[in-house]
Amino acid sequence: MKEFDERIEITYLLIGLFSAVASAFAYITIRSLKEKEHPLVVVFHFQLVGTISGSVFSIPVFEMPQGMDWIYLILVGIFTQLGQLNLTKSLQQEKVANVSILNYTGVVYAIMAGFLLFDEHYGMGTILGITLVIAGVVLSMIYR
């Protein structure tokens, strides 16, 4: 899906790939905690680790939010909490493969946001790659 876009540095591409592998391990870990921890406990620890590790990069460039920024931050916090809690519950109740495969639908949302909000345009190679990923998700769900 990277195609030949010169704007994407290989470092950031590798960070994205590492992120995908780390997510897989996180999903498996959440599933393994099914009988041991309540979903709220899992979400709390996830956010605690995220806050601490994110602070390392945020503190040096921190700027105090102003005006509407507070409302946006509160809304992001609320929807993130709800999303993470529901993801954790679904990972603990269903097979990881069945839940995590739905994350690929985020590609569709990202493309729509990029096109509508940032005037991004995609080459045929990218569109073909996205189509193959979405087709794989649909086929995987149909034929399990």
Band (pLDDT 50/70/90 cuts) for residue 144 is low
- Per-residue pLDDT, 88: 86
- Per-residue pLDDT, 9: 82
DSSP string for residues in 121-135 = ---HHHHHHHHHHHH
DSSP H or E stretch at residue 141: helix 124-143
User: What phi and psi values does residue 3 have, to the nearest 5 degrees?
Assistant: 55, -135
CA atoms within 13 A on the CB side of 59: 6
- Per-residue pLDDT, 136: 81
Report pLDDT digits (tens) over 41-86: 888 888 898 889 889 989 999 999 999 999 999 999 999 899 888 8
Report pLDDT digits (tens) over 91-126: 888 776 677 777 777 777 888 888 898 888 887 877
- pTM value surpassing 0.85: no
Give the residue among 99, 83, 80, 78 at the shortest CA–CA distance from 34: 99
